């Protein structure tokens, strides 16, 4: 318990130390709560849903959700990232903020109407969508709710406390509704509606709440020449990322069956947990990096990047190796024995995560986007996504979900190789011996420990608990013995603080 308590405090202290302003420290804390909530919510719901709905209905839901995601992308048009960036610059200029926010909101409304029109036409023209029509229409409600909610204004003003509170509240409401209403495989439409409430219900509360920041209204004075080129630039990046992330599920549904989609989506849900943890840190430091790049302050850039890299590797790698070691148990707990075909998918996706944490998460999100060089990110993503889709055409009919996971892993590796040369010479990254070697050694040792426990202990729950506790002790011990810079810095800060108290 002492090691676990220390580890949690180290994670929080990193968030505190990486930010210099006290207000942002509070925002980091709220963002971590939101991230933890987003992690635990699917962990609570999915074991129940996977057993009640069964693989075929789970696959049907996930395929429909994947299909709707393309129209969500078209409706959002990359506006969220652009709006946060532009509105953040105008926080101290109320009149300009009202004008810019209203213009961005109005462009978003128009893009939403276009997206809905194309969605309805597709439902009329494509007969294979008939069996998905009701669930697609239900899930498409998230498009409307999210756009009229304009959550980006809250993010621009760093109001993470409100965002966190309402997110947790609607997740609790959705959890209660799920246990009350979803009882058998035919209830997948009810589950879809509950998912809409969980994901987008909070956005409706923002219609009145956002007035504390600015006055947003629909206007036909859009200033297209100013906004649209920048919006479309970010849209292309998000489009490529979305195709990259969702093409696997779509193609599995086309070439195989809903059960295979269910296996793959189960593995994706687990791998997504680590991604959320990584994204929570990137979400906090990205605004700082953007400001530092605009000021050409490479001292702050290098400091923030190296701390972020140590965090991404130091936390992401052991989580990845631990999930690989316990993959069979994790899938059994979440989905049941009938989901065992998802185990090799999960292992392959975890290997892919190792490359994505260094490639897309670090170089892409924390170097290229803040420095306004996202065009290189777009090109790299387009190439890796193209390779992924091309290989899927030939491999998914043969290997199903496992083949899709393999092509994703390969694409992540290719993306990393393409992005690595784009680190500019002014950026000074620590030697791999410093930031990479200790986490790798610690992760390999905890992997060995977990497999050793599997040999000597037969009871699954006891296996998991013993593996996790032992892994924490082993990994923390390795970081201390090898004097991992960020970890030692934060332990020193923690001890110093306790000594002063």
| Count of C-beta atoms within a 10 Å radius of residue 80 | 19
| 415 in a structural domain | no
> How many CA atoms lie less than 13 Å away from 255 in the CB half-sphere?
20
| 95 in a structural domain | yes
Best CA proximity match to 334, nearest among 263, 391, 393: 263
| 12 in a structural domain | no
| 63 in a structural domain | yes
Assign 410 a pLDDT band (cuts: 50, 70, 90). Answer: very high
Q: Model confidence over 96-123: pLDDT tens digits?
A: 888 888 888 898 999 999 999 999 998 8
pTM metric for this prediction: 0.72
Q: Is residue 376 over pLDDT 60?
A: yes
The answer to whether 21 and 158 have CB atoms below 8 angstroms apart is no
pLDDT reported for residue 8: 40
Domain that holds residue 170: 47-222
| 231 in a structural domain | no
Residues 6+ apart with CB under 8 A from 337: none
Alpha helices in 420-484 (DSSP H): 432-435, 437-456, 460-481
| 120 in a structural domain | yes
Best CA proximity match to 88, nearest among 214, 257, 241, 264: 214
Q: Model confidence over 125-166: pLDDT tens digits?
A: 888 888 888 888 988 888 888 888 888 787 777 676 777 777
Q: Is residue 487 over pLDDT 50?
A: yes
Tokens of 469: 């506790």
| Count of C-beta atoms within a 10 Å radius of residue 128 | 8
Q: Is residue 240 over pLDDT 90?
A: no
Q: In terms of pLDDT, which residue wins out, 438 or 53?
A: 438
Best CA proximity match to 401, nearest among 40, 49, 63: 63
Number of structural domains in the chain: 1
Best CA proximity match to 154, nearest among 216, 111, 96, 106: 216
pLDDT reported for residue 40: 67
Residues 6+ apart with CB under 8 A from 262: 50, 55, 56, 58, 59, 62, 339
pLDDT reported for residue 7: 40
CA 113 – CA 399 distance, rounded (Å):
39
pLDDT reported for residue 163: 75
| 290 in a structural domain | no
Q: Model confidence over 332-348: pLDDT tens digits?
A: 887 777 888 889 999 99
Alpha helices in 126-220 (DSSP H): 133-139, 141-149, 152-156, 160-181, 188-204, 206-209
Mean pLDDT score across all residues of the chain: 80
Residues 6+ apart with CB under 8 A from 417: none
| 34 in a structural domain | no
Q: Is residue 501 over pLDDT 70?
A: no
- Residue 398, burial from CB neighbour count under 10 angstroms (0-12, 13-18, 19+): exposed
- Residue 440, burial from CB neighbour count under 10 angstroms (0-12, 13-18, 19+): middle
**What is the C-alpha R_g of the chain?**
23
Q: How far is CA 114 from CA 109, 141, 264, 408, 422, in A?
A: 9, 15, 31, 31, 36
Assign 6 a pLDDT band (cuts: 50, 70, 90). Answer: very low
Q: Model confidence over 244-299: pLDDT tens digits?
A: 777 788 888 888 877 888 888 888 888 887 777 776 666 667 667 776 777 788 88
The answer to whether 448 and 388 have CB atoms below 8 angstroms apart is no
Best CA proximity match to 275, nearest among 349, 327, 190: 349
pLDDT reported for residue 499: 59
């Amino acid at each position: 318990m002492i090691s676990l308590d220390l580890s949690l405090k180290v994670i929080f202290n990193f968030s505190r130390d990486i930010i210099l302003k006290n207000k942002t420290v509070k925002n980091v804390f709220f963002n971590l709560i939101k991230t933890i909530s987003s992690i635990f919510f699917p962990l609570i719901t999915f074991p129940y849903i996977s057993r009640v709905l069964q693989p075929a209905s789970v696959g049907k839901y996930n395929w429909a959700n994947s299909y709707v995601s393309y129209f969500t992308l078209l409706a959002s048009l990359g506006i969220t990232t652009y709006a946060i960036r532009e509105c953040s610059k105008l926080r101290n200029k109320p009149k300009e903020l009202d004008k810019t926010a209203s213009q961005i909101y109005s462009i978003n409304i128009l893009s939403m109407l276009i997206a809905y029109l194309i969605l309805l036409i597709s439902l009329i023209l494509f007969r294979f969508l008939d069996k998905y029509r009701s669930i697609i229409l239900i899930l498409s409600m998230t498009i409307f709710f999210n756009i009229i909610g304009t959550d980006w204004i809250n993010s621009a003003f760093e109001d993470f406390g409100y965002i966190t509170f309402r997110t947790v509240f609607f997740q609790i409401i959705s959890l209660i509704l799920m246990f009350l209403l979803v009882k058998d495989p035919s209830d997948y439409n009810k589950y879809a509606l509950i998912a809409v409430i969980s994901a987008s219900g909070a956005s409706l509360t923002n219609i009145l709440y956002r007035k504390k920041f600015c006055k947003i209204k629909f206007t036909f004075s859009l200033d297209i020449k100013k906004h649209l080129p920048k919006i479309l630039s970010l849209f292309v990046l998000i489009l490529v990322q979305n195709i990259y992330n969702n093409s696997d599920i779509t193609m599995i549904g086309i070439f195989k069956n809903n059960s295979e989609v269910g296996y793959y989506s189960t593995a994706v849900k687990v791998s997504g947990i680590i991604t959320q943890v990584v994204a929570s840190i990137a979400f906090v430091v990205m605004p700082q990096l953007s400001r530092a790049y605009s000021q050409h302050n490479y001292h702050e850039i290098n400091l923030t990047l190296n701390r972020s890299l140590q965090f991404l590797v130091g936390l992401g790698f052991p989580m990845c190796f631990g999930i690989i070691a316990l993959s069979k148990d994790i899938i059994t707990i979440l989905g049941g024995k009938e989901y065992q075909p998802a185990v090799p998918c999960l292992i392959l996706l975890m290997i892919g995560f190792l490359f994505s944490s260094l490639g897309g998460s670090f170089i892409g999100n924390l170097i290229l986007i803040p420095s306004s060089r996202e065009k290189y990110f777009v090109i790299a993503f387009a190439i890796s996504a193209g390779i992924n889709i091309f290989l899927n055409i030939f491999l998914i009919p043969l290997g199903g979900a496992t083949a899709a996971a393999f092509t994703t892993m390969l694409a992540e590796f290719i993306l990393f190789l393409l992005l690595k040369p784009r680190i500019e010479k002014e950026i000074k990254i620590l030697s791999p011996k410093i930031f990479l070697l200790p986490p790798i050694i610690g992760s390999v040792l905890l992997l060995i420990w977990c497999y050793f426990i599997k040999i000597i202990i037969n009871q699954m729950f006891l296996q998991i608990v013993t593996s996790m506790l032992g892994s924490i002790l082993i990994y923390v011990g390795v970081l201390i013995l090898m004097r991992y810079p960020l970890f030692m810095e934060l332990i020193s800060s923690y001890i110093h603080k306790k000594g002063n108290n």
